[in-house]
Structure 1
């Protein structure tokens, strides 16, 4: 996707002066996340008659494709509207700055809560259901003629609001395809994935489709199930994916699940959830479940838990 005419999004333009004021001149104490794509700052801005808490995503100036990334994100978030997606406030494109401004969600990134006991098993199930609904909408909705492959799904790209509701974010590397082609695979020149979450088939072949997102989502499911992150640098079993697959097959998942979480789990909820997560990691990509099937099964797992 090439750069889009900025006048199409003129109503979303926010001046650099306003962003500098909102973030206290990009003060270091306001940094909430750093990635290869951006440095993100928290702040607040008076906009459209209300004081809004924001996250300003300042795109890395060393990237040659900043222009493309900016307009991809703006194009996606200005078009896609769902309760489980982040809300776009605006953007800045001046003085060699490319900045995306989204509404800040109070509790921050899901990544920060993976091992936190505040995330009960019921909350974790509800979060998974919410992410699944977001992906179902992003992958295809009958009201649109296009479909989206996210490609960068991980637990740092899910934000949580006051009510622990998840909001999927970061669409700068997503692929926008025709709705009629949503069951096809696409060869890419470059690989875009997150280490520890990337679909092995995509990494090996550079061929991506919606089932690649399912693999990444499966890793997030196992993170929330086990209360541990996808990569643990100090752990002999560095990658959660291989650890989870082995323990699932050997019926020893309880050995890698936080005891506090294990005690909360209804057996039917546990078995249904783990089956879904495991199937998402199927080496044969075509055999991974579709997102709409996952939504139904996760909702059933939550129903079993609530009934216990």
Structure 2
């Protein structure tokens, strides 16, 4: 552990600076709560510039979290991609463990799922951004390992001022040699309820296809405008509900109402077909990440082409009272 700490010494930020940046961790600056602990927004002076930050403060109530803390620092210090959150530094002082990243002004995707202001085109762009992030984690030229995220969900997908994706939440990620990415890594079933790959129970471990399953759930969240898991509801698991409707050709019944008159028929079909294929029971049957990127970019192109056309009068494509623009 001493060696690990020394490796990241250049990223250390004094506790005094973090306290000042967050106004002594004032409740007004709390921007979220996660398994790691509360996150605070703030402004930190770095290299002569005042930058906006998010400081995730490890909750020490349960006496755990050290491994997750160093796992995230290790991951984010190595990984650089436009669709990943950027690590600014960390604080490891006086019993405090705090991870400091850039502050993404539009918060998490989870906060906007049922917002009519988040258009279908924006949702497609977000899905493309997450797909690019996952593809990068799986493989990048010059890197000898891939990364299994294990916590892909709408709360770890952050959005910057331009609604660009910044994937976060690397505290339970696993590095794996590239030639072993398809092999099962023994693991406890850990993650966020509603997004976890059901194959983990059978194989007692994860592969990079476990992230594909979670991503499929996120795609259905974007389509349906609701969270993956809603406690105390009859249909509390979105994955199960979406698969049922897809297989019975009634998926339009659960599509988010405000999206129905925005979607091009092609983009809807591509996105829904892809989401369903990501939820295949067997990981081997799920699409690979490059295919996902290509399909979603194609869906976005169809949508943008439709928007760029001079709009004729609407024609109805009727399927369970679902309105498409054709």
Q: TM-score, normalised by structure 2?
A: 0.91
Map 1:265-280 onto structure 2 (within 5 A). Answer: 265-280=263-278
Tell me, yes or no, if the aligned pair for 2:37 and 2:58 is still in contact at 8 Å. Answer: yes
Q: Distance in 2 between matches of 1:163 and 1:261?
A: 20
Note the C-alpha offset of 1:204.
Answer: 4.2
Equivalent in the alignment of 1:228:
226
Q: Distance in 1 between matches of 2:230 and 2:159?
A: 23
Equivalent in the alignment of 2:177:
178
Q: Distance in 2 between matches of 1:3 and 1:173?
A: 20
Equivalent in the alignment of 2:186:
187
Note the C-alpha offset of 1:4.
Answer: 4.7
CA 1:257–1:234: 2 relative to 1, 3 Å = farther
1:27-71 deviation digits (Å, cap 9, x = unpaired): 112111112222111111111221111111111213554222121
In structure 2, which of residues 299, 302, 316 is the aligned counterpart of residue 301 of structure 1? 299
Note the C-alpha offset of 1:96.
Answer: 0.7
Equivalent in the alignment of 2:78:
79
215-224 or 43-52: bigger deviation: 43-52
Equivalent in the alignment of 2:138:
139
Equivalent in the alignment of 1:54:
53
Note the C-alpha offset of 1:7.
Answer: 2.0
Q: CA RMSD in A?
A: 1.3
Specify the SS of the correspondent of 2:101. Answer: strand
Equivalent in the alignment of 2:41:
42
CA 1:136–1:240: 2 relative to 1, 3 Å = same
1:88-113 deviation digits (Å, cap 9, x = unpaired): 01000010111100000111111100
Tell me, yes or no, if the aligned pair for 1:4 and 1:71 is still in contact at 8 Å. Answer: no
Equivalent in the alignment of 2:97:
98
1:104-156 deviation digits (Å, cap 9, x = unpaired): 01111111000111110000000000000000001111220011000011000
Q: Distance in 1 between matches of 2:71 and 2:205?
A: 20
In structure 2, which of residues 243, 251, 259 is the aligned counterpart of residue 253 of structure 1? 251
CA 1:169–1:241: 2 relative to 1, 3 Å = same
Q: Distance in 2 between matches of 1:109 and 1:90?
A: 21
Specify the SS of the correspondent of 2:45. Answer: strand
Tell me, yes or no, if the aligned pair for 1:59 and 1:97 is still in contact at 8 Å. Answer: yes
Does structure 1 residue 290 correspond to structure 2 residue 285?
A: no
102-111 or 200-209: bigger deviation: 200-209
Equivalent in the alignment of 1:206:
204
Specify the SS of the correspondent of 1:298. Answer: helix
Q: Please tell me whether Structure 1 or Structure 2 has the larger radius of gyration of its CA atoms.
A: 2
Equivalent in the alignment of 1:158:
157
Q: Distance in 1 between matches of 2:164 and 2:150?
A: 22
CA 1:99–1:250: 2 relative to 1, 3 Å = same
Q: Distance in 2 between matches of 1:78 and 1:100?
A: 11
Q: Distance in 2 between matches of 1:64 and 1:143?
A: 37
1:228-253 deviation digits (Å, cap 9, x = unpaired): 11112353211101110000011111
Tell me, yes or no, if the aligned pair for 2:186 and 2:204 is still in contact at 8 Å. Answer: yes
167-176 or 224-233: bigger deviation: 224-233
Q: Distance in 2 between matches of 1:253 and 1:100?
A: 40
Does structure 1 residue 218 correspond to structure 2 residue 219?
A: no
Q: Distance in 1 between matches of 2:279 and 2:89?
A: 36
Q: TM-score, normalised by structure 1?
A: 0.96
